[in-house]
Amino acid sequence: MDILIVNCGLFSPTPLLSAMVVNIYKLRSNIKSFNPSGMGCSAGLMSIDLAWDLLQVHPNANALVVNTDIITLNYYHGSKRAMLLQNSLFHVDVVGYLFIYF
């Protein structure tokens, strides 16, 4: 993998999520990593667009985009249907996309 983009719409920790992924999974030290976190729901689309733009510049590269939402503090544990809407709209999830430029 040559390019790593990790984002979270609501959460922007230090050290960055992309740095944590590089260190935990022992990725190469020369990987290009980006962390557009804390930008709300649009961060996912912006990350995919960033990956596309970077693959245009580096045509033989691979890019991994990881989108995540972490709302542990606001998660509703009850059973009232009206209150469960936020859990279905803003839930704890992770999605990864691997882009390979042909």
DSSP character at residue 74: G
Domain count for the chain: 1
Between CA 92 and CA 102 the distance in angstroms is: 33
The enclosing domain of 75 has a CATH number of: 3.40.47.10
pLDDT of residue 57: 93
pLDDT of residue 30: 92
10-residue mean pLDDT series, the chain (102 residues):
85 81 90 86 86 92 86 73 69 73 66
The model's pTM:
0.74
Q: Which domain holds residue 61?
A: 3-100
Cβ atoms within 10 Å of 89's Cβ, excluding its own: 10
